[in-house]
Structure 1
């Protein structure tokens, strides 16, 4: 095969791969959903937690406040906003406490009271039971509830409706002003809107949020321009995090590209060389994104941000090539003499550094977090592509490109770098101090919660807290999730759990709970209650006996007899019967179904503000008879889940480090040389970790990603500063200049991320930028002096 044909095939293959990658990218979905940092393959219990974080009712419920204007203007805006959104398909339910909807809920409860009331059983409708229940209602005619009791008494003498109102009436909820929900001081009118989109569909939640804002803007213009909207809730945190990630990824990517481009243009002083040097980076970015898209069906914005900064390392390969080789003509292979010499003397070192980087990033593929797995796959495919383009494409293009020589920079640095070897004792002392710091702070070194990953706007957090307090709707922490083969099975199991919880409430171990079975009992329970209702004639006979010693005649209770007869024959309630009523919001979100898994869930929310951990342990033990019920502490379990995956990632990272050590031992065939190669890398990692421990707070999974990249970058530096025996490319001018330029581009690319307000990006930037600089300094400090100067391959000075 002729050299020209070989080059043509190489360029053709490269262009084909890049074009296919670009096409794949155009078909890829991009996301900024922080759920990428939830586990990919959770256990069954962990899946319950993940489902609640992604699809639970709380994850898609907006809290809305209307402020400004007069009381009546705010109330009118609340009513109009509710009317505009109640039939909008973007929302599953919306409530503002309007009296009409309150009455609608009361009417539904009243019409189904004998199917809903837990007091309904055969004993309740015996002669003795009726006498006792009716007698109690008569006594309550003189109580504060006398007016309500008097109104209901002819049709509900046993008091079932009052018992239901104790659980369902919103009187214990938000305050009211102008017959709608308001804050206690009546300065804010309140609404609750539950989106139809799942909590993991950030785009759908964003559309719902925008729908609320746009509708309110129209209403405000009609009523009073001084009105303004406050909107919070879990969906707003997800939307705000997504928008901030998108904005900052875009901003810092542009800044990184500009900085790196300016540095390279200043160094190369040639636009063609600059563009050629960006080919490995561009190819790596395209292939990396395409591979992530193919492997995960979507690409996270943080992966893009990391990838843009990763060009700081990927660009190193072309820097090594262009700086360490200079063409002055063609050799026998048709390549420049400098290119051939670089492939012979330097490529093996670059290749070894590449392999160590790939091993390090491979650890992320086993982290269990899709976000980290994406970064690992991106880094591996991107770096490999950049290195291969440098190895096979640039030598074809290189002889045709004029470029300046920055060896002068290297020559000016040779003496200072040589003097840096005097700092070895200082470096070892700093390393020792870093170890001491880590020993004393090891317990709190790693953050064991998910809270440090997502960006949180303090103003939004304050608004959320305020609206929740006014609504009387604290964010639930403790849930009991009951699984069943279908909804009926889940509801029956949930009823078993609630019977246990009732005892816990009575014993004072639990403040209360909300269960979907309060509004939608199982079919079996409804039929049992219907069976307990006596037929019309039988009920009339029992009433005559029960009312003998009570001051009420049977004729006055004919409405009661008719209602019992009607509900005894009525069809059992289904979830669909609640749709369109204010009760839907309280039930539907707590009865999710997973058709793919062939199961249904019932979610019971616990009121546990004052419940101690010891009492929660008792509660957990109490529900063990219900095998399908799981008590979930959302905060504790999410932190435990995160800590488990952090430990897993640390273990696989250490395994990757061990594999790198083994590889170096095999390739370098000298434990002493391997130790000298690993020493600056290890010290750089130790110093960065100690620096974070002293000044930057706790480390997260993303700091670990940064440390892996520090090790990858540091391995390249250390290998160049520790050439194999007999190889002359030690601290010669061009090697030093190329490493200095590579370090500069890396610090520029990652340094800008340190100023990000997104914790994930900031963690990577604040780790890699100082880590890369430390790796270069330490590699120079522990460098092996060159055996002899590198011959000038250009014939020029």
Structure 2
């Protein structure tokens, strides 16, 4: 006997050591990941899936996001012009000194605009504006003479001017004047970018500052440095200029706000869940040791889930982090079921036998939960895949720890037996099961169905992505202020133009531009657009322009030379200009434009080489560009979509609309998956409990799903994908309660009062943790939490329906369940 005890003790120590090693490895890995660059993903776009059928369009979304992601814009506004400018200079100097930014541009560096003209000057004979094309099509000697006279005696005054000797007719100068370089309300004053506005209180002056980040806007280190630098700089600024207002815009501010909000929610949800669960377990078990062991099992599940998620995905999304804090309530369920068996056994406790007793119930419960979470792995949303992985690893680890670790830690018999509590619970269960179970179950189901039908008929859905990703309201207001001052539209829709060659892309972009120009003056017009062809015409267009000049202007070189000399040009100037046209033509190219430093703010318009998505060329190399229209509204968007459909190689991209559409498609699919999973769970339970028992055990969670949907309908709440995904988890979690009761009835000498106590406690912890998600500022998690709380509450209330008839009072409590007063005296 002593040898058996020694062997058992050694085995217990081996199990403890193995779990300790696992916990240390997982904790050390998580600590190592968080010690370096933060693995927390704060980019809201990273939560969204690839929605575009064309991968080139998806690349365009990423390119535009990254092009703007490392820029930060600040707007300093005052009613005193001098104060605004002085404050902007002080703010820029403070931010540059802080080291939080790679560069801060307040005063514009000296730049000779003639550099732009010099870039295009060698290619001037292929560059003609629309007005000059029209004028030259029907040109006559008189027309050319008038053009020359206007150029000489009324030169265009501006920065983008050309030398008279190089551009005697002004064609290049007028073409340069059409470049979309100044598309805002900003003017240059004292080397500052300034916007003047007038409102009801008077005139205001706003000065724009542009800063670039030293790293990614989604790195925690960068966010904290920027936050601290701005807080210090603005504090000093308000002391010197009390009348000042500073508005900011940039991805780093949204990322920092999202990260801070998620950290607050993790603390609130985590601490509240822990405290609530601890109080509930202490009230029921009256044992700090059991409380500690329960949290050991839960902590193992959480830390292993965190390590696995980081190992598999590399990053941790905000949704996963906050959801992980709520998983405490489900992970502790398995240990609770083990503890009620432990307390019910009294002095006859045997740890291994106790594990064998709860294994069937926990196994079935784990299977149903894994089925619910597995659906999240199927949905193509990165954050939901992470949540599914996190939850599955967490609850599987908690399950394993209950079966193998807790028996090694909980070897001594309990010092007390909460007989009074268990007897009272048995009496309550008997009364409740009598009201719901047996033949009455079908009557209850029918009544609930009748009550639910009107609610189901009132159900509506809304898949708008904007309702599910909530941005900080104050930052949105500040960004709107910046955009209003600058005069830039807040449009996230654009065209992607692709082709097999660079030339094909440019020609198609020109065709698109012509269609957009044709919309002007109609109800579907846009307020202009940005396109690479405004800077780099296609070789075909340049060739056509040169051919037009050759036909209409240079067809008689002698007469043209005489016209120039008569206008006062020197012989060598006229000969040089005529000789320049006679040289073999070389078209201006995209590569030449990209090499110019001043093209940097517009380089996102050219995507360059990409994988072609055209038919039968999926692996070929192609090229692509984007065209960004201004003033896209719900009214003119259908016309823009139709316009894109009518042009080869052109697609209209609206990321928000694409995601919303995908949300709707997966919401419908998830509804079908929910029905299929319910049927699968029913079949699995029928294999274990028989046909009648399987249906009865499935009925509570089925009714829970139906009642939750009806409540949403009566409340007038719109459903989205996250509500339906939460219903999948209601199925996974809610089915456990009926299973626990059913398995308790199947165990010899089981105290159903103890089992029912464990079920109620499990439901209470789940409601506490998942219900806390209902207060989340993240609309997606709020939908999750509200739906889970409703479904779990109904599932636990209806769980006794799944009990076999005649088993309501259990075996050990059956004799006294109907006489609670006698039971209390006996206890």
Q: Select the residue among 683, 701, 711 that pairs with 1:681.
A: 701
Q: 1:435 aligns with which of 449, 453, 459?
A: 453
Q: TM-score scaled by structure 1?
A: 0.83
Question: How big is the shift at 1:371?
Answer: 0.7
Q: Work out which of the residue numbers 5, 12, 20 in structure 2 matches 1:15.
A: 20
State which of 291, 314, 318 in structure 2 corresponds to 1:301: 318
Verify the 8 A CA contact 2:430 2:809 in the aligned structure 1: no
Q: Which residue of 1 aligns with 2:382?
A: 370
* Corresponding residue of 1:414: 426
Tell me the CA shift for residue 385 of structure 1: 1.0
Q: Does 1:51 align with 2:68?
A: no
In structure 2, distance between residues paired with 1:384 and 1:750: 18
Partners of 2:60 and 2:309 lie apart in 1 by: 23
Whether the 8 Å CA contact 1:249–1:302 is kept in 2: the answer is no
8 Å Cα contact 1:540/1:561 also seen in 2: no
Q: Describe the SS at the equivalent of 1:481.
A: strand
Moved more, 386-395 or 720-729: 720-729
CA 542–659 in structure 1, closer or farther in 2 if over 3 Å, else same: farther
Distance 2:183 2:425 in 1: 77
Q: Secondary structure at the match of 2:652?
A: strand
| Superposition CA RMSD, Å | 4.6
Given candidates 756, 774, 778, the residue that maps to 1:754 is: 774
Structure 1 residue aligned with 2:533: 517
Q: Structure 1 residues 663, 545: closer, same or farther in 2, change over 3 A?
A: farther
Identify unmatched segments of 5+ residues in structure 1: none
The one of 372, 375, 382 equivalent to 1:360 is 372
Counterparts of 1:498 and 1:541, CA distance in 2: 38
Could you tell me how far 1:466 is from its partner in structure 2? 3.0
**Once the 2 structures are TM-superposed, how far is the Cα of residue 269 of structure 1 from its aligned partner?**
2.4
1:752-783 per-position Cα deviation (integer Å, ceiling 9, x unaligned): 22222122332222222333222211113664
Which deviates more, 161-170 or 253-262? 161-170
For 1:170, what is the secondary structure of its paired residue? coil
Q: Distance in 2 between matches of 1:195 and 1:559?
A: 48
Match of 1:450 among 448, 453, 465: 465
Aligned with residue 146 of structure 2, among 117, 131, 135 = 135
Structure 1 counterpart of 2:689, from 663, 668, 680:
668
The one-character-per-residue Cα deviations of 1:686-712 (angstroms, maximum 9, x if unpaired) are: 222332344373233333343223222
Partner of 1:471: 486
CA separation in 1, counterparts of 2:65 and 2:632?
24
Question: Which of 194, 199, 206 is the matching residue for 1:181?
Answer: 194
Aligned to 1:70: 80
Q: Distance in 1 between matches of 2:754 and 2:105?
A: 71
In structure 2, the residue matched to 1:262 is: 279
> Does 1:326 pair with 2:343?
yes
Partner of 2:36 in structure 1? Answer: none
Which residue in the other structure is 1:739 paired with? 759
> Does the Cα contact within 8 Å between 1:133 and 1:159 map onto a contact in 2?
no
Kept in 2, the 8 Å contact 1:434–1:687? The answer is: yes
SS in 1 for 2:471: coil
Q: 604, 610, 630: which one pairs with 1:589?
A: 604
Indicate the SS of the match to 2:246: strand
Change (3 A) 1:37 1:578: closer
Given the alignment of the two structures, is residue 620 of structure 1 paired with residue 644 of structure 2, yes or no? Answer: yes
2:456, 2:713 within 8 Å by CA — same for their partners in 1? yes
**Per the alignment, do residues 571 and 465 of structure 1 end up closer, same or farther by CA in structure 2, a change over 3 Å counting?**
same
Query: Cα deviations across residues 547-575 of structure 1 (Å, max 9, x unaligned)?
Result: 69xx9433499599669949989995666
Q: Secondary structure at the match of 2:411?
A: helix
- With over 3 angstroms needed to count, the CA separation of the structure-2 counterparts of 1:787 and 1:343, relative to structure 1, is farther
Q: Tell me the secondary structure at the aligned position of residue 343 of structure 2.
A: coil
Change (3 A) 1:565 1:127: farther
Decide whether aligned partners of structure 1 residues 540 and 354 sit closer, same or farther in structure 2, where only a CA change above 3 A counts.
same
CA–CA distance in structure 1, aligned partners of residues 266 and 405 of structure 2 = 30
Matched, 1:395 2:398: no
1:544 aligns with 2:561: yes
- Residue 606 (1) aligns with residue 629 (2): yes
Deviation at 1:381, TM superposition (A): 1.3
- Mapped to 2, the partners of 1:27 and 1:401 lie a distance apart of 40
State the secondary structure of the residue aligned to 2:74: strand
In structure 2, distance between residues paired with 1:267 and 1:576? 76
Structure 1 residues 93 and 542: CA distance shift in structure 2, 3 A: farther
CA–CA distance in 2 between the matches of 1:227 and 1:528? 54
Task: Verify: 1:112 aligned to 2:135, yes or no.
Answer: no
**1:448 shift after superposition:** 1.4
Q: Please report how far the alpha carbon of residue 303 of structure 1 lies from its aligned counterpart in structure 2 after TM superposition.
A: 1.3
The alignment partner of 2:653 has SS state of strand
Deviation at 1:604, TM superposition (A): 0.5
Superposition map of 1:2-401 within 5 A: 2-28=7-33, 29-39=39-49, 43-45=53-55, 48=58, 51-52=61-62, 55=65, 57-58=67-68, 61-68=71-78, 70-78=80-88, 104-105=112-113, 108-109=116-117, 112=120, 114-115=123-124, 117-119=127-129, 128=139, 132=143, 135-136=146-147, 138=149, 154=164, 156=167, 157-168=169-180, 170=182, 173-174=185-186, 180-185=193-198, 186-191=203-208, 193=210, 195=212, 201=218, 203=220, 206=223, 210=227, 213=230, 216-217=233-234, 220=237, 224=241, 226-233=243-250, 235-326=252-343, 336-337=349-350, 339-340=351-352, 342-400=354-412
Helix, strand or coil: the match of 1:184?
strand
Give, in whole Å, the separation in 2 of the partners of 1:53 and 1:695: 42
Question: Judging changes above 3 Å, is the alpha-carbon distance between structure 1 residues 680 and 731 closer, same or farther for their aligned structure 2 residues?
Answer: farther
Counterpart CA distance in 2 for 1:92 and 1:326 is: 63
* d(CA) in 2 for partners of 1:208, 1:293: 25
Instruction: Go from structure 1 to structure 2 and tell me whether the alpha carbon gap of 1:53 and 1:731 turns closer, same or farther (over 3 Å shift).
Output: farther
Aligned match of 2:783: 763
Q: Distance in 2 between matches of 1:99 and 1:544?
A: 43
> How far has the Cα of 1:47 moved from its partner?
5.2
Change (3 A) 1:614 1:319: closer
8 Å CA contact 2:501–2:623 kept in 1: the answer is: yes
Distance 2:265 2:49 in 1: 25
Displacement, 1:316? Answer: 1.0
201 and 558 in structure 1: CA distance in 2 versus 1, 3 angstrom threshold = farther
Per-residue CA distance 1:521-554 (angstroms, 9 max, x = gap): 46786788789888x9999746435569xx9433
Answer yes or no: is 1:691 the counterpart of 2:702.
no
The count of aligned residue pairs is 777
- Cα offset for 1:660? 1.7
In structure 2, C-alpha distance between the alignment counterparts of 1:149 and 1:559, rounded to whole Å: 25
* Secondary structure, aligned partner of 1:605: strand
Q: Distance in 2 between matches of 1:418 and 1:32?
A: 51
In the other structure, the counterpart of 2:819 is none
Task: Using the TM superposition, give the Cα deviation of residue 355 of structure 1 relative to its aligned residue in structure 2, in angstroms.
Answer: 0.7
Range moving further from structure 2, 406-415 or 86-95? 86-95
CA spacing shift, 1:8–1:708, aligned 2, 3 Å? same
Within 1, Cα distance between the matches of 2:498 and 2:90? 39
**Cα–Cα, structure 1 residues 125 and 65, in superposed 2: closer, same or farther, change >3 Å?**
same
> 1:112 is paired with a residue of what secondary structure?
helix
2: CA distance, partners of 1:594 / 1:125: 36
Contact 1:117 1:160 in 2 (8 A): yes
